Amino acid sequence: MSPSPVHAQGVDSAHDCRILRAPWVVPVSSPVVQDGAVVVNRNRILAVGPFCELSPHYPDLPLTSCQGVLLPGLVNGHIHLDLSVMGTVQPDSPDSSMCDWIQKLLQRREAAKVSQEEIETAAEKTICDQYASGVGLMLDIGNIGLQRRDCKPVEILSLLEMLAPSQAAQRAVIDIISDFSSDFPVTGHAPYSTGPNLLKFIKKRCRQQETIFSLHLAENIDEALLLGKGEGCFAKFLQERGGLDGTFPVAGIDSRGVVGYLENLGILDDKTLCVHCVHIDDREIQVLAGTGTHVCLCPGSNRFLGVGTAPLEKILAAGILPALGTDSIASNPVLDLWQEMSILAQEHHRVDPATILAMATLGGAKALHRETDLGALAPGRRARFLHVEGREYEKAEDADQLLQRLISCGRPESISWIGDE
C-alpha cells in the first residue's frame, strides 16, 4: 500500500513554490515513500507523498529532480563545543575509572592554556563539520561563553554548565548566577557534581525563562554509589578536592535511585533533558516517562569510556523516544550522528531502524521543543532538510532495506541541504 500524500491546508501553491522529486522520501513522522515528492515554498513544507499522487495537484510548479534520499536534518542533542580544542582524551588503561578520565581531562585543560580565540576557532571547525554531516540543530553545553556568530549554519542552543558539589560552592555559584542577566541560559552538570540546592535553583530559573534544563545522568555506576552511600570514585574525587562536606550521601534516597532523587527535587518535567541514562533501572525509567522527561543517549561516548550501554529497549517500551548526541571530542573521537546510529544498530539489533533514525531527527527536535519546525518532513515544518546520496541507497530494494542502510552504513557519500542552496 502506498502512503497517501499529506497536504497543508489553504496554501497558495503558485507562489515561490517548487516540487522536489526523489527515489526515496523518508519523512520520519510517516512511512517511507518510494518515488516520492516534497512540495515546498520558500519557508515551509506544503505537502509530502508519492510523486504520482502529488504532481497533479501542483501541475505548474518548477520540478527539482534529486537522485538520492530526502530526509529531515539531524539534531545533535548533546555536544560540548568548547572542548573541541582539547582533542580526544584517551583513558590510561581499560581498568581506569571515569574519575581518572575526568582528572586527565582537567589536567590537560589546565596544562594546555589555550586562548579564547583558539577555543572558538576549534569550536567553529566542529560546527562546520556538524553542518556538513547533516546536523541542523544542536544543544551545546559549555563551561565558557562562546562568542555567538550570526553566520553559523547550524542552529545552536547553548547552555552554560554550572558545577558545585559542596554547600559553600553551591552558595557561591548561586550568587554568581544571580548576577547574570535574567535571560542568560544556565544548566547543571550532573547529580554528582551539582549539589541539590543549586540544581533546584537553576531548574526554577529555567522554568521562569521557559528554557531547556539539561543534565548528565547515570553515565557511570559510581554516581548512584555517591548519592546512595557516599562511596565510589566520585566520593574519592570530591574528598581529594575538599568537596565532600555532608551533601552526599543524600539522606532518604529510596529505591527509585538517582532519578527518584531528581524527582524529589522537582527537577523532572518535559523541559528537562537527561543525558546518557546508562545506569537506570525499570523503576527509574517509569519515573522519567511519567514526568515527561526527555532522554538523550550518547552511545559513542559510552563505548569510548567503557561505562556501559543504555537500556534503549526499555526506554522505548516506556514510550520515550530518546534524542541522540555525540558528546564532545574528548570522549568520542568521531563526532558524527551517522556513526552514533550505527553503534546503536550494532548494540540494539532488535530496535527498528526507523526508530533509530527517528532518534537522530524527531527525538532531538522533541527534546529541544522544536518539533513544529524540525525533525520530520511534514506540512508546516521548515523547508530546510537533507538530500543524501550513496551507492547503498541506490541499490535498496525496499523501504526496510533503505532504512537499515541509512542507519548502519555511516556518513553518506554525499550530503546536501535543501533550502540552503
Interacting span for Zn ion (CB under 5 A) from 239-247, 257-265, 320-328, 352-360: 320-328
The distance of closest approach from Cβ of residue 191 to Zn ion in the complex, given in angstroms and rounded to an integer, is 14
- Cell readout for 186 is 544556565
Give the angle subtended at the CA of 250 by the CAs of 249 and 256, to the nearest 5°: 115
Encoded one letter per residue, x for contact with Zn ion by CB under 5 A and - for no contact, window 264-283 reads --------------------
- Cβ distance to Zn ion smaller for residue 54 or 141: 141
Interacting span for Zn ion (CB under 5 A) from 41-49, 253-261, 287-295, 322-330: 322-330
- Cβ distance to Zn ion smaller for residue 327 or 389: 327
Q: In the bound complex, which residue of the shown chain has the CB atom lying closest to Zn ion?
A: 327
Interacting span for Zn ion (CB under 5 A) from 40-48, 56-64, 326-334, 397-405: 326-334
Number of residues that bind Zn ion (CB under 5 A): 1
Interacting span for Zn ion (CB under 5 A) from 319-327, 337-345, 376-384, 409-417: 319-327
Contact 119, 138 (CB under 8 A): no
- Cβ distance to Zn ion smaller for residue 276 or 366: 276
- Cell readout for 31 is 512511512
- Cβ distance to Zn ion smaller for residue 279 or 381: 279
The answer for 180, left when phi > 0, alpha when psi is -120 to 50, beta otherwise, is beta
- Cβ distance to Zn ion smaller for residue 80 or 348: 80
DSSP string across 191-245: TTTB-HHHHHHHHHHHHHHT--EEEEESSSTHHHHHHHHS-SHHHHHHHHTT--S
Measured CA to CA in angstroms, residue 328 lies from 90, 139, 247, 407 at distances of 13, 12, 29, 21
The distance of closest approach from Cβ of residue 78 to Zn ion in the complex, given in angstroms and rounded to an integer, is 6
- Please report how many Cα atoms fall inside a 13 Å half-sphere around the Cα of residue 161, on the Cβ side: 20
Could you count the other beta carbons within 10 Å of the beta carbon of residue 82?
A: 26
The distance of closest approach from Cβ of residue 80 to Zn ion in the complex, given in angstroms and rounded to an integer, is 6
The distance of closest approach from Cβ of residue 34 to Zn ion in the complex, given in angstroms and rounded to an integer, is 39
Residue 161 contacts Zn ion per CB under 5 A: no
- Cβ distance to Zn ion smaller for residue 58 or 101: 101
The distance of closest approach from Cβ of residue 162 to Zn ion in the complex, given in angstroms and rounded to an integer, is 14
- Cβ distance to Zn ion smaller for residue 38 or 298: 298
Interacting span for Zn ion (CB under 5 A) from 67-75, 174-182, 247-255, 324-332: 324-332
The distance of closest approach from Cβ of residue 141 to Zn ion in the complex, given in angstroms and rounded to an integer, is 6
The distance of closest approach from Cβ of residue 31 to Zn ion in the complex, given in angstroms and rounded to an integer, is 34
The distance of closest approach from Cβ of residue 392 to Zn ion in the complex, given in angstroms and rounded to an integer, is 31
Residues making up the chain, counted from first to last: 421
Which of 23, 19, 81, 84 is closest to 54 using CA atoms? 19
Question: Per the omega criterion (within 30 degrees of 0), is the bond before 249 cis?
Answer: yes
- Cβ distance to Zn ion smaller for residue 83 or 244: 83
Measured CA to CA in angstroms, residue 235 lies from 77, 225, 243, 306, 327 at distances of 29, 8, 9, 20, 24
- Cβ distance to Zn ion smaller for residue 6 or 359: 359
8-state DSSP, 151: T
- Cell readout for 354 is 526507523
Residue partners of 200: CB distance under 8 A and separation at least 6: 265, 266, 267
Interacting span for Zn ion (CB under 5 A) from 38-46, 193-201, 321-329, 397-405: 321-329
Residue 340 contacts Zn ion per CB under 5 A: no
Residue 327 contacts Zn ion per CB under 5 A: yes
Residue partners of 163: CB distance under 8 A and separation at least 6: 173, 188, 189, 193, 194
Give the angle subtended at the CA of 244 by the CAs of 238 and 246, to the nearest 5°: 155
- Cβ distance to Zn ion smaller for residue 276 or 370: 276
- Cell readout for 304 is 569510548
The distance of closest approach from Cβ of residue 216 to Zn ion in the complex, given in angstroms and rounded to an integer, is 6
Residue ranges that bind Zn ion, judged by CB under 5 A? 327
